[in-house]
Amino acid sequence: MGSDAPQIVCRFSTRCKFVSLGEAPEFVGGTLDALRQPLEEGEVRISRAEGTACFPARFTLVLAANPCPCAAAKQVDCSCAPALRRRYLARISGPLLDRIDLKLELSPASRAELRYDLEFAEASRLVAERVLLARERTLKRLGDTPWRSNSEIPGPELRRRFTPPPEAMRAADDALQLGTLSARGLDRVLRVAWTIADLSGRDEPGTDDIGGALALWSGRRP
């Protein structure tokens, strides 16, 4: 990826709402943070003197960023000072990152890895079947609640009615204690942990599911 102007791709339909923002740190101050409220509440509220209008805005947000402004293909070719790299990524604010469930650092793929991937990557059809099964498990658990997916469960209800066993929660409790996990981040981790458990066919998240969700939220490799 080159470090040019920000790129926006939107795919909206009645079933799938997907927004992808490339070169995220290049967006001018405040633009990305305007997404915080709709990300949290699933709707956009516009208040004027005559009243407030609410518009549905539940969507999946994908942000992509180079690690530094020069966007060198190989790390050895990067001449950016460490402080510059930190400042560049810090343009994506902490409160916005708090609301991003999955953070992944991607390395450039070698030709050998690309060949390996083509050989062993799962067919989309198989992945779709697994997702469908997980969705069914979620729907069964949510029963007659107003929610249809783990992401829709409000934080207080999530903590009150869908708390994993205490022993599974130990890593998350420790992270909260250390201050490396925020209260909002905990809700995000819980929702992802339930999704991992649903994908694995387990009745509730275990230690590994919480640990995996925590690693994905914090962006460190598990």
Instruction: Measure the CA–CA gap between 158 and 155, rounded to whole angstroms.
Output: 5
User: Minimum CB separation from Zn ion for residue 107, in Å?
Assistant: 15
Q: Are 219 and 103 in contact (CB under 8 A)?
A: yes
User: Minimum CB separation from Zn ion for residue 3, in Å?
Assistant: 9
- Residue among 69 and 155 whose Cβ is closer to Zn ion: 69
- Residue among 76 and 126 whose Cβ is closer to Zn ion: 76
Stretch 189-208 residues interacting with Zn ion (CB under 5 A): none
- Residue among 87 and 141 whose Cβ is closer to Zn ion: 87
Sequence letter at residue 8: I
User: Minimum CB separation from Zn ion for residue 66, in Å?
Assistant: 8
Stretch 54-113 residues interacting with Zn ion (CB under 5 A): 68, 70, 78, 80
- Residue among 42 and 67 whose Cβ is closer to Zn ion: 67
Q: Can residue 142 be called a binding residue for Zn ion (CB under 5 A)?
A: no
Per-residue buried b or exposed e for 57-92, using 16+ beta carbons within 10 Å of the residue's own CB? bebebebebbbbeebeeeeeebebeeeebeebeeeb
Stretch 159-188 residues interacting with Zn ion (CB under 5 A): none
User: Minimum CB separation from Zn ion for residue 88, in Å?
Assistant: 8
- Residue among 87 and 135 whose Cβ is closer to Zn ion: 87
User: Minimum CB separation from Zn ion for residue 134, in Å?
Assistant: 39
Q: How many residues bind Zn ion (CB under 5 A)?
A: 4
Task: List residues binding Zn ion (CB under 5 A).
Answer: 68, 70, 78, 80
